[in-house]
Amino acid sequence: MSERRALVTGISGQDGSYLAELLLEKGYRVFGAVRRSSGENLHRIQHLLGDIELIHADLLDQQSLVTMLRRARPHEVYNLAAQSYVPLSWEQPMLTAEVNAVGVARLLEAIRLVNPAIRFYQASSSEMFGQAREVPQNEDTPLHPRSPYGVAKTYGHYITVNYRESYGLFACSGILFNHESPRRGKEFVSRKITDGVARIKLGLARELRLGNLAAKRDWGYAKDYVRAMWLMLQQDRPSDYVIATGEAHSVEDFARLAFAHVGLQWRDFVRVDPTLFRPAEVDHLIGDATKAGRELGWQPTVRFPELVALMVEADLALVAAEVRASRGTQIRP
């Protein structure tokens, strides 16, 4: 069979790293777009560097996207790059729009000009449902985003649909609900909690400051979710899919389970910090992935308690290794 080539933007992020692993397992030649940084930022894909090919490109720079496509000549493009942290989108709404909204149009336009046969995946978000009009949310639920991030992602979603309808591109939008892993950034609440639990358990911290404990999310496992991205691009026809577990839990539930996993009571350590509340909150997200189950054969394999446990275990191991490394440093002459 002839070589299959895939290009992943955002390959240095949580999802990019798992998707790159999946594509390599499936025999793809994998290209990753990275933006230039003054420091090393490839820790999540360090183990893959001999197997993937990195190209410098930025969603803010149209020409870099055209050059990237000409070099990689991909059959499939997965656009995972984004300013993905919701609170920052109130501090930098213009940057968030440039990357998460206009950046998608730049990439679609580059695909249309370089090779319109490329299959395209857009990383859309349940944050677009925002103040959700129905429970659970599916592909037909009206959108009411509540953050500059959600608004920008809504543009990214509709420009993807529009390029499919206008130019016949094979363009899919995956409306993914929150998905987590040991590779999640520590600013997101799941990893902030599991890292905090590990530090408290190992005596490195005494408390964990959190914002809104009542917010509910439909949390799944990132490895399951990147499989759904790949499945979308293997279908006969492009479409949009909600990817979710169909279960919602509160931030408080997450903290309770994570502390309980190491034999501690969350109430003894969690402090609510009002400065961490958002100008507008998304109170309750829960997804209905029936269409993905029916058309893609996709199902989540990891449920909430297992997800919390695997993240706590991973952070305990990481923090313990940090402690050992710092003791080693101290006794060196």
Known catalytic residues are 125, 127, 149
Q: 3-class SS at 325?
A: helix
Cα 271 to Cα 308: distance, rounded to the nearest angstrom: 20
Minimum CB–partner distance for residue 114 and ligand G4F (Å): 28
Minimum CB–partner distance for residue 14 and ligand NAP (Å): 4
Partner that binds at residue 80, options ligand G4F, ligand NAP, none, CB closer than 5 to 8 Å by kind: ligand NAP
Angle, nearest 10°, between helix axes 251-261 and 189-201?
30
Q: Please identify the residue of the shown chain whose CB is closest to the bound ligand NAP.
A: 13
Identity (one letter) of the amino acid at 254? Answer: F
Q: For residue 234, what are the contacts with CB-CB under 8 A and spacing of at least 6?
A: none
Assess 183 for contact with ligand G4F (CB under 6 A).
no
Assess 314 for contact with ligand G4F (CB under 6 A).
no
Kindly tell me which of 9 and 190 has the beta carbon lying closer to ligand G4F: 190
The closest alpha carbon to 200, from 307, 319, 306, belongs to: 319
Task: Let me know: does 106 contact 59? Beta carbons within 8 Å.
Answer: yes
Return the residue of 17, 96, 122, 126 that touches ligand G4F, per CB under 6 A. Answer: 126
Residue 176 CA, distance from chain mean position: 8
Task: Let me know: does 24 contact 30? Beta carbons within 8 Å.
Answer: yes
**Token pair recorded at residue 185:** 């950034």
Return the residue of 12, 17, 64, 84 that touches ligand G4F, per CB under 6 A. Answer: 84
Q: 3-class SS at 122?
A: strand
Residues 235-264 close enough to bind ligand G4F by CB under 6 A:
251
Assess 86 for contact with ligand G4F (CB under 6 A).
yes
Assess 185 for contact with ligand NAP (CB under 6 A).
yes
Partner that binds at residue 291, options ligand NAP, ligand G4F, none, CB closer than 5 to 8 Å by kind: none
Assess 15 for contact with ligand NAP (CB under 6 A).
yes
Query: Interface with ligand NAP by CB under 6 A: which range of 52-60, 227-235, 278-286, 316-324?
Result: 52-60
